[in-house]
Structure 1
Amino acid sequence: MSSLSIFLSIIAALFIGAMSPGPSFVLVSRIAMSRSRLDGLAAALGMGVGGVAFSVLALAGLTTLLSHFGWLYLGLKVAGGAYLVFIAFRIWRGAREPLHVGDAGSDRRALGRSFTTALLTQISNPKTIVVYASIFAALLPKAVPLGLFLAVPIGVFAVEAGWYAVVALAFSATHPRRLYLAAKTSIDRVAGTVMAGLGVQLVTSGLAGR
């Protein structure tokens, strides 16, 4: 199997995974609707950077380390779940607050917050690195060529940032934003509930594995 075939197989598998609904999708779509298109794109960039971090860690063999030190993986699951619950609490708490949206209102500080929140949400789920590592273990040769080692993180960034950029552009359009503003309280509470549910599931699965 050539390096190009391996690369394309990895990217295709990760793209399918990126399109699966989860906390990242919930967060990026809400940021795009509630803040601005630029904020949504900043969040997409954060998702891309988080994906690169996971790919580098997987290539470096972190999964092997986690398999030898189960308590470390469980700790990461609990911490990641707790962070998702924290984000859910903030969304729920602000559900009734009035909102003014518009691309003109996005400054560097706001864009930085959108980027950071997305990045932390992306890397808060340790299950993602297991997915990355599983795909890499199944498709990468034992001796990874340098070109492939360098190309994979770039491809991962393109997949993660590209997909969530599409999500951001779609949900920051006029019609989705109008619908969001008309039902902000309900949508935020649903989003908060989904995020909290994912976080609690991560925490309980971590504690159950003790």
Structure 2
Amino acid sequence: MDLLSSLPAFVLAVVLISASPGPAMALILRRAALHGFSGAVPTVLGLEAGLYAWALLAATGLTALVAASEVAYLILRVVGGGFLLYLGFRAWRTAWRGARAGETVAEEPGPGSSPSWWKAFGEGAVVMLANPKIAAFMIAFYPQFVPADRPLFATTSLLAAVQVAIEIVLYLALAAVVGRAGAWFRRPAIRRRLEAVSGTVLVALGLRMAVESR
């Protein structure tokens, strides 16, 4: 199998995978709705940094060890699920405080501030790195597109860079579309409902990750 001939199938698979709902999509949608396009950029970059790190670990074989270890897999499930629960409960708390304050929801620091930027980046990275399903995905996905005569680490790194580039474009395009309606989403009553809904989604995803078996 030639790498270039398999690239179209790889790109198509990445696009389909990127469009599937999950923690990453929920995080991006919430961030773009509440903080606009610029507020979603660090979240997207954090998610993709975590994805690329998993890809490099897969190329070295460490991902296979994590996926094969019951203890490591359980730890990632608990940490990843717990972090999603934390984000969900935080969204619920914001919605509840907004209701108590008469529909006025406290704003987080603006997306341009350094602490807010790194906080959003860190949330994205943790959500991706603490997802054990990504480890299992990397083991099954990348070897299909790595020719037997090509170096595993270099080829996986290249394919992962292509995936990261595609997902950054797709996710930022999604964030731009959602961000255009940001003024409407940030109206106090709408923001409170959005926080409640997104909190429910994140809690549900966290519970599923925490209790779901392989």
Instruction: Provide TM-score, normalisation by structure 1.
Output: 0.85
Aligned length: 205
Judge conservation of contact 2:52–2:161 (CA < 8 Å) in 1.
yes
Asked if 1 retains the 8 angstrom alpha-carbon contact of 2:44 and 2:121, the reply is: yes
Per-residue CA deviations over 1:161-182 (Å, capped at 9, x if unaligned) read: 2222112111110x35404524
What pairs with 1:67-106 in structure 2 (closer than 5 Å)?
67-95=67-95, 96=98, 98-99=105-106, 106=112
Residues 101/113 of structure 1: CA separation in 2 closer, same or farther (3 Å cut): closer
Counterpart of 2:175, as a letter, is A
For residue 148 of structure 1, the aligned residue among 146, 149, 155 is: 155
Contact persistence 1:34–1:101 (CA under 8 A)? no
Separation of aligned partners in 2, 1:68 and 1:157: 25
* Kept in 2: contact 1:51–1:156 (CA 8 A): no
Deviations 1:60-119 (A, max 9, x none): 22343135422211221111111111111111111125255997x622222222111112
Q: Structure 1 residue 34: deviation in Å?
A: 1.2
Of 110, 113, 119, the match for 2:119: 113
Asked if residue 27 in structure 1 is aligned to residue 23 in structure 2, the reply is no
- The aligned counterpart of 2:55 is 55
* Counterpart in the other structure of 1:158: 165
2:101 match: none
Aligned match of 1:188 = 195
Q: Counterparts of 2:119 and 2:56 in 1: how far apart (Å)?
A: 24
The structure-2 alpha-carbon separation of the partners of 1:27 and 1:115, relative to structure 1 and needing over 3 Å to count, comes to same
Q: Give the secondary-structure state (helix, strand or coil) at the position aligned to 1:35.
A: helix
Where in structure 1 are there 5+ consecutive unaligned residues?
A: none
Q: Which shows bigger deviation, 190-199 or 132-141? A: 132-141
Identity value in percent:
24
How big is the shift at 1:198? Answer: 0.9
What is residue 14 of structure 1 aligned with on the other side? 14
Does residue 129 (structure 1) correspond to residue 138 (structure 2)? The answer is: no
CA distance in 2, matches of 1:67, 1:149: 18
Structure 2: 5+ residue stretches without partners: 99-103
Contact 2:54 2:135 in 1 (8 A): yes
Instruction: Give me the TM-score of the superposition, normalised by structure 2.
Output: 0.84
Partner SS, residue 196 of structure 1: helix
CA separation of 1:160 and 1:83: change in aligned 2, threshold 3 A: same
Match of 1:201 in 2: 208
Q: Given that residues 171 and 177 in structure 1 are in contact (C-alpha distance below 8 angstroms), is that contact kept between their aligned partners in structure 2?
A: no
Residue 148 of structure 1, CA deviation: 2.4
